[in-house]
Structure 1
Amino acid sequence: MAFETWLMYLLAVLAVCITPGPNILLAMTHSVQYGLKRTSITALGCITATSSMALISATGLGALLLASENAFHLLKWMGGAYLFYMGISLWLKKESAFFDATCNARPAVRLRRLYARGVMVSASNPKAIIFFGALFPLFINPDAPLAPQFAIMLTTFLVFSYGFIMGYAALTAKITPYLRTRRASKWFNRMSGSLFMGIGLALATSEK
């Protein structure tokens, strides 16, 4: 891949990654609830699912999914329902502080659970497969070996996606001291829950 082509691709990636979506929202929520260090596991789960969808697209299954309207709508509804469920869970979360201000003890959580949550949220949007199917061909040179080009584009996207997810999480961590009260944590849960429900509904009801 020519360096000039990669730079143009990088600009497109930055424009996509800087826009907050479900992955970033989840990382921001986990940053407050569990701390920045453990949120890195959540972010790893997010990019794992993202890489899987990019590989699906690169191998041509994206075109098959696009052609199968029933399969696409089924995945879209499942993803939207999962995000809506997450929103409801946050709304119903016990109105207690995220952690005890007297001892700074974070709530216990298994790292594999954070990883799984990241995978599920990222995989909840099947449009990512179609997005990669539309993005990659714009920068592919059909006369050059395809595998190295896909590898460069996928690695670039994952590195910057992870960086932006963690960047937003780090910014959110700065406000954590202000969320150590029951009242503050309650409204943070409800705001995050409302955003998840809104994204879930938008995903499930959007046109193909």
Structure 2
Amino acid sequence: MRREFLLAIGNPKAILIFTAFLPQFVVPDEDVLTQFIILGAIFLALEWVAIAIYAYLGLHLQRWLAGAKAKKIFNRVCGSLLGGAGLSLLVAGHAVSAP
């Protein structure tokens, strides 16, 4: 738990969110520190909910992927999605570079 906390403190994504995204919701004429604390608490609560949802879905996915047939289907679907994403990047790259 301590390692995770230290890792989260140094997370550049969180630092960028707090410095780039949250200030637009802060009213400069009011107590800035209190506003940042409230916004930070809301952000952390939403982050916790998102992590809980990922964990819940991961547990169900783990149970579903216990069988060999399900793993094979999952791997093929993921491979197809990655291949499709690669092809769309390839096509988009040609569309942009064409004169």
TM band (smaller chain): 0.5 to 0.7
Match of 2:25 among 129, 133, 139: 139
Inter-partner Cα distance in structure 2 for 1:170 and 1:133: 31
Kindly indicate whether residue 45 of structure 2 is the aligned counterpart of residue 159 of structure 1: yes
* Structure number with larger C-alpha Rg: 2
Scaled by the length of structure 2, the TM-score of the pair is 0.55
Inter-partner Cα distance in structure 2 for 1:165 and 1:127: 15
Cα distance change on mapping 1:180 and 1:169 into 2, 3 Å: same
Aligned-partner SS, 1:174: helix
With a CA cutoff of 8 Å and minimum separation of 6, indicate the structure with the bigger relative contact order.
1
Aligned-partner SS, 2:63: helix
Which structure is higher in helix share?
Answer: 2
Aligned residues: 73
Cα distance change on mapping 1:154 and 1:117 into 2, 3 Å: closer
Match of 2:64 among 172, 178, 191: 178
Cα distance change on mapping 1:126 and 1:138 into 2, 3 Å: same
Scaled by the length of structure 1, the TM-score of the pair is 0.29
Identify the residue that residue 116 of structure 1 maps to in structure 2: 3
Inter-partner Cα distance in structure 1 for 2:28 and 2:46: 25
Q: Which runs of 5+ in 1 are unaligned?
A: 1-111, 192-208
Matches within 5 A, 1:4-153: 112=1, 116-117=3-4, 120=7, 122=8, 125-153=11-39
Aligned-partner SS, 1:144: coil
